[in-house]
């Protein structure tokens, strides 16, 4: 087994592995946007994000495993240095191997990741999109700690089925928001992106209280072709929106979402913004909408209740992967 590490899309193309990597991700049962060539290419153009891709290949040149991550920083100077963290969403992706082979390949990928992280990042965090129980021993042997997290996936099969699984209160809010004159559109220019960003920035300062990427990410997302940029407008004014990467026309993700709730009675732009990709999903044959996290199960998290109401009415059957919380695991390691 051989390991290669790439930091730019151009390096990957010159290596001769670009097509094989893309096929590996598209054919993998757990393939996702944040482990894809599209994300690698896009995030490398954004200030404050430094991506890396590690490929494990066989002697014959086949991809045995891949691991795509990003070193993130915020601000400049000492603030940038102290905010260094390495994030991996939805990886690693391993080719169809025996359990023992999967653990061995994972260990090699993790060892290479840790070597690269030392001196560049304060900690490493994996945000999983799928069950990694079969390779848990590889993570533990490399010093990672497992922390349970929750996520919601919304099946986007048919309109009637999706609405039946959505809480009646959410359906009422969607209808009342549309009746109040709001509409779902797509961002068309930089001015609309910046109007969305102003609402999002206020939300992060007042409630989320976490670092928010600079406008650069959102402006480039608009022209990237890697997803949908939905806006909620009322009388031509932007009052909310959501940016949604897509993967293989089967998964659509919530990345950043906001809305000026409370402007008027019956107006719920955050609800309509969240509904926009769900509606798009069932209208265009997508498999599901991914909420990208619902917090730790042992901690109160108000956003979880907001998201849960898009999942199942009380009268609907519960217990399926689509109508109940989907367990996720966050793995963390200080470097």
Q: What percent of the chain is modeled with pLDDT above 90? A: 70
Q: Looking at the structure, do residues 177 and 244 belong to the same domain, yes or no?
A: yes
Q: Looking at the structure, do residues 236 and 128 belong to the same domain, yes or no?
A: no
Whichever domain contains 196, its CATH number is 3.40.630.30
| Three-class secondary structure of residue 121 per DSSP | coil
What is the per-residue pLDDT across 84-104, written as a single tens digit (0 to 9) for each? Answer: 889 999 999 999 778 899 999
Averaged pLDDT for residues 59-74:
91
Q: Would residue 335 count as lying in a domain?
A: no
> What's the pLDDT score for residue 42?
98
Q: What are phi and psi of 18, to 5 degrees?
A: -60, -50
Q: Looking at the structure, do residues 217 and 171 belong to the same domain, yes or no?
A: yes
Report how far residue 260's alpha carbon sits from residue 258's, in angstroms, rounded to the nearest whole number.
Answer: 7
Pairing of β 251-253 and β 237-247: antiparallel
Q: Looking at the structure, do residues 197 and 307 belong to the same domain, yes or no?
A: yes
> What's the pLDDT score for residue 335?
54
Report how far residue 68's alpha carbon sits from residue 90's, in angstroms, rounded to the nearest whole number.
Answer: 9
Report how far residue 144's alpha carbon sits from residue 139's, in angstroms, rounded to the nearest whole number.
Answer: 5
Averaged pLDDT for residues 255-278:
95
Count Cβ neighbours within 10 Å for each residue of 96-118 and write b for 16 or more, e otherwise. eeeeeebbbbbbbbbebbbebbe
> What's the pLDDT score for residue 262?
86
What is the per-residue pLDDT across 192-214, written as a single tens digit (0 to 9) for each? Answer: 999 999 999 999 999 998 889 99
What is the per-residue pLDDT across 2-25, written as a single tens digit (0 to 9) for each? Answer: 999 999 999 999 999 999 999 999
Q: Looking at the structure, do residues 173 and 284 belong to the same domain, yes or no?
A: yes
More confident residue, 16 or 313: 16
In sequence order, the 6+-apart residues with CB closer than 8 A to the CB of 20 are 61, 62, 63
Q: Looking at the structure, do residues 218 and 105 belong to the same domain, yes or no?
A: no
Q: Would residue 334 count as lying in a domain?
A: no
> What's the pLDDT score for residue 318?
28
Q: Would residue 161 count as lying in a domain?
A: yes
Parent domain of 311? 153-326
Q: With cut-offs at 50, 70 and 90, classify the pLDDT of residue 334.
A: low
Q: What are phi and psi of 77, to 5 degrees?
A: 60, -135
Q: Looking at the structure, do residues 163 and 105 belong to the same domain, yes or no?
A: no
Q: Looking at the structure, do residues 139 and 158 belong to the same domain, yes or no?
A: no
- By mean pLDDT, which of 127-131, 181-185, 330-334 is the weakest? 330-334
* Structural domain count, the chain: 2
Q: Looking at the structure, do residues 36 and 67 belong to the same domain, yes or no?
A: yes
> What's the pLDDT score for residue 99?
87
Is residue 204 within 8 A of residue 212, CB to CB? The reply is: yes
Instruction: For residue 152, give Cα distances in angstroms to 303, 309, 320.
Output: 11, 10, 11
Q: Looking at the structure, do residues 229 and 259 belong to the same domain, yes or no?
A: yes
Report how far residue 163's alpha carbon sits from residue 167's, in angstroms, rounded to the nearest whole number.
Answer: 8
pLDDT over 60 (residue 327): no
pLDDT over 50 (residue 322): no
Q: Would residue 333 count as lying in a domain?
A: no
pLDDT over 90 (residue 179): yes
> What's the pLDDT score for residue 37?
97
| Residue 214 in tokens | 């600079």
Chosen domain end from 94, 125, 143: 143
> What's the pLDDT score for residue 146?
87
pLDDT over 60 (residue 248): yes
Q: Tell me, yes or no, if the pTM score tops 0.85.
A: yes
């Amino acid at each position: 087994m051989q390991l290669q590490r790439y930091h730019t899309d151009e390096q990957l193309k010159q290596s001769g592995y670009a097509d094989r990597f893309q096929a590996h991700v598209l054919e993998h049962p757990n393939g996702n946007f944040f482990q894809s060539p599209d994300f690698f290419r896009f995030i490398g153009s954004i200030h404050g994000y430094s991506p890396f891709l590690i490929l494990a290949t066989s002697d014959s040149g086949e991809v045995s495993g891949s691991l795509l991550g990003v070193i993130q920083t915020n601000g400049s100077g000492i603030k940038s240095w102290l905010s260094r963290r390495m994030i991996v969403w939805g990886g690693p992706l391993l080719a169809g191997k025996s359990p023992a082979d999967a653990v061995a390949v994972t260990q090699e990928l993790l060892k290479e990741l840790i070597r690269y992280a030392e001196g560049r990042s304060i900690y490493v965090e994996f945000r999983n999109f799928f069950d990694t129980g079969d390779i848990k021993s590889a993570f533990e042997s490399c010093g990672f700690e497992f922390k349970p997290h929750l996520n919601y996936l919304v099946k986007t099969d048919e309109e009637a089925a999706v609405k039946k699984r959505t809480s009646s209160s959410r359906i009422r809010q969607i209808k009342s928001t549309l009746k109040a004159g709001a509409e779902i559109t797509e961002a068309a220019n930089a001015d609309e992106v910046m109007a969305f960003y102003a609402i999002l920035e206020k939300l992060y300062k007042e409630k989320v209280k976490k670092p928010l990427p600079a406008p650069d990410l959102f402006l480039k997302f608009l022209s990237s072709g890697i997803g949908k940029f939905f806006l909620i407008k009322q009388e031509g004014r932007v009052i909310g929106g959501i940016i949604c990467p897509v993967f293989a026309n089967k998964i659509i993700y919530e990345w950043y979402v906001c809305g000026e709730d409370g402007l008027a009675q019956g107006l719920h732009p955050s609800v309509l913004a969240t509904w926009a990709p769900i509606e798009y999903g069932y209208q265009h044959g997508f498999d599901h909408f991914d909420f990208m996290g619902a917090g730790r199960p042992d901690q109160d998290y108000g956003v979880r209740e907001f998201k849960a109401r898009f999942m199942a009415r009380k009268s609907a059957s519960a217990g399926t992967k689509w109508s109940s919380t989907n367990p996720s695991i966050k793995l963390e390691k200080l470097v």
